[in-house]
Amino acid sequence: MPAKPTISVIGLGKLGACIAASFAHKGFSVIGADVSAKTVELVNQGKAPVTEPQLSEMMDGAKDRLSATQDVAQAVVDSDVTLIVVPTPSTAEGGFSIDYVIEAAKSIGRGLKAKKGYHLVVLTSTVLPGSTEYGMIPVLERESGKKVDKDFGVCYSPEFIALGQVIKDFLNPEFLLIGEHDDRAGKMLADTYLAVCNNEPKIARMNLVNSELTKISVNSYVTMRISFANMVAAMTEQLPGGDVDIVTGALGLDTRIGSRYLKGAVAYGGPCFPRDNAALAYLAGQLGQSGALAEAVHAYNSSSNTKLAERVLEVMPKGSTVAVLGLSYKPDSNVIDEAPGFILAKSLVEAGVTVVVHDEMATDAVRRVLGDKVKYATTVEEAIAGSDVVVITTPDKVYAAIDLTSIPRSTIVIDAWRLLRKQAGDRPNYVGLGLGDDNQRLSGALAGMWTDTARART
């Protein structure tokens, strides 16, 4: 293998385009391939085909090393390592479809047939265990007339990235997960990835099926942590003096637990967490095991969105206008899949509420779904002005910069991430989710509960 092999990336969506640009940025020659003529044209013009931080700047600085084509087979012929980054949509049952993977494999196989020498094929898309071994490899062998391990290598190596910080996460992975069909393929991929990383990540090398299970297990486990923290937040909010940040901060000090994903705020969303959690439950069922834990997390997460909407409807005066700040599932992203802010806006509209929304990146995505059912504010100030209730649903820096004193005390502020808690003081119009109130109506009930308990013991 040359010191820096030529890389081909099949699929130039939000992840694939960033992977291709990152390799080119690090001095690799990269050939991107995509079925979209528009995407190919944009890449060849040095323009970003998707919206992601750093992508445009990175592509601009690597124009001479990054090209694109619609000819997947030729991209394989002209490269040494091929990364498959195509969609694997969820099925109605909760699994993943590998139709796009199979189509890509057919074209890759034809490329393998036409070239001499060893080639490495890497599947990065999220799939169920067995998909690489029994779904993709037979297609590659059939189309190429060659044998895995002898003529070409195969690995399964998914990325652990978050939209809005794809490039940062790709270049600085916490660890590299490499599922390998044989040692040669795994070592080649490990060397290739280490040459592009800014850090020195640990590497977990294993067989294909274990790596496929690891991928969905990681994300599913994270959803459990998020939901647990949200459950704690719901309880602390009902306890006089309760503070979820204090509780989860202490929990994080225990080395058996750690602090990651123990914030306590809104439901999880996005293109990965919900579907990977559902897939783990589906897989358990297919294997004759119980997926009850993953199913319970999914149910609790859905109920969190419902409860947030109920909370807003409960506190808002009749005929109110509600401002929802944050429509994507996380900051620096335009993705609204399962996003709590988007779901809240939609639920309020369905309840007949006048809703104004703000999100610097996700407005167009929401407009395609909700149309003129909501009002679209171009600034935070515009969204807040004239609103009776303001709900902050993403921890975006632009919302953390809000001056709470500029908001009338008659306007109720529901802060899901407690971004403004330091400014709040004793303002009665500020509601930080997960923060109890010594004066709330439940304080008396709590005291009464303990009084009743004491009486029962005497």
Task: Give me the mean pLDDT over the 293-315 stretch.
Answer: 95
Q: What is the pLDDT of residue 444?
A: 42
Task: Give me the mean pLDDT over the 294-313 stretch.
Answer: 96
Task: Give me the mean pLDDT over the 369-390 stretch.
Answer: 96
Q: What is the pLDDT of residue 446?
A: 38
- How does pLDDT run across 232-270, given as a tens digit for each residue? 999 999 998 999 999 999 999 999 999 999 999 999 999
- Look at the block and give the residue holding tokens 């079925």: 35
Whole-number Å distance between alpha carbons of 406 and 408 = 6
Q: What is the pLDDT of residue 365?
A: 95
- How does pLDDT run across 169-179, given as a tens digit for each residue? 999 999 999 99
Whole-number Å distance between alpha carbons of 392 and 400 = 9
Query: Is residue 453's pLDDT more than 90?
Result: no
Q: What is the pLDDT of residue 125?
A: 96
Q: Would you state the structure tokens that stand for residue 243, as one six-digit string?
A: 């503070």
Q: What is the pLDDT of residue 188?
A: 97
Q: What is the pLDDT of residue 30?
A: 98
- How does pLDDT run across 120-154, given as a tens digit for each residue? 999 999 999 999 999 999 999 999 999 999 999 99
| 3 state DSSP class of 331 | coil
Task: Give me the mean pLDDT over the 206-230 stretch.
Answer: 97
- How does pLDDT run across 77-91, given as a tens digit for each residue? 999 999 999 999 999
Q: What is the pLDDT of residue 320?
A: 93
Confidence of residue 155 (pLDDT cuts 50, 70, 90): very high
Q: Would you state the structure tokens that stand for residue 96, as one six-digit string?
A: 């993943």
- How does pLDDT run across 32-53, given as a tens digit for each residue? 999 999 999 999 999 999 999 9
Residues 6+ positions from 11 with CB-CB distance below 8 Å: 33, 34, 84, 85, 86, 87, 100, 104, 125
- Whole-number Cα distances in Å, 439 to 58, 428, 444, 445: 53, 10, 9, 12
Query: Is residue 356's pLDDT more than 60?
Result: yes
DSSP string, 222-288: HHHHHHHHHHHHHHHHTSTT-BHHHHHHHHHHSTTT-STT----S---SSSHHHHHHHHHHHHHHTT
Query: Is residue 440's pLDDT more than 50?
Result: no
- Whole-number Cα distances in Å, 418 to 21, 304, 338, 348, 437: 36, 17, 21, 22, 14
Nearest to 418 by CA among 222, 239, 253, 263: 263
Confidence of residue 428 (pLDDT cuts 50, 70, 90): confident
**CB half-sphere exposure, 101, CA atoms < 13 A:** 25
Q: What is the pLDDT of residue 447?
A: 43
Q: What is the pLDDT of residue 2?
A: 54
Whole-number Å distance between alpha carbons of 150 and 118 = 8
Nearest to 131 by CA among 101, 153, 106: 101
Residues 6+ positions from 245 with CB-CB distance below 8 Å: 264, 418, 434
Higher pLDDT, 429 or 325: 325
Q: What is the pLDDT of residue 83?
A: 98
Q: What percent of the chain has pLDDT over 70?
A: 95
Query: Over the chain, what is the mean pLDDT?
Result: 93
Phi, psi of 14 (to 5 degrees): -60, -35
- Look at the block and give the residue holding tokens 């190919």: 40
Q: What is the pLDDT of residue 425?
A: 84
Domains annotated on the chain, with CATH: 7-206 (3.40.50.720), 218-432 (3.40.50.720)
Burial group, residue 135, by CB count within 10 angstroms (0-12, 13-18, 19+): middle
Letter for the amino acid at 86? V
| 3 state DSSP class of 390 | strand
Whole-number Å distance between alpha carbons of 38 and 44 = 10
Query: Is residue 197's pLDDT more than 90?
Result: yes
Task: Give me the mean pLDDT over the 303-324 stretch.
Answer: 94
Residue 204: its H or E element: strand 202-206
- β strands within 20-62, DSSP E: 30-33
Q: Are 312 and 340 in contact (CB under 8 A)?
A: no
Q: What percent of the chain has pLDDT over 90?
A: 89
Query: Is residue 443's pLDDT more than 80?
Result: no
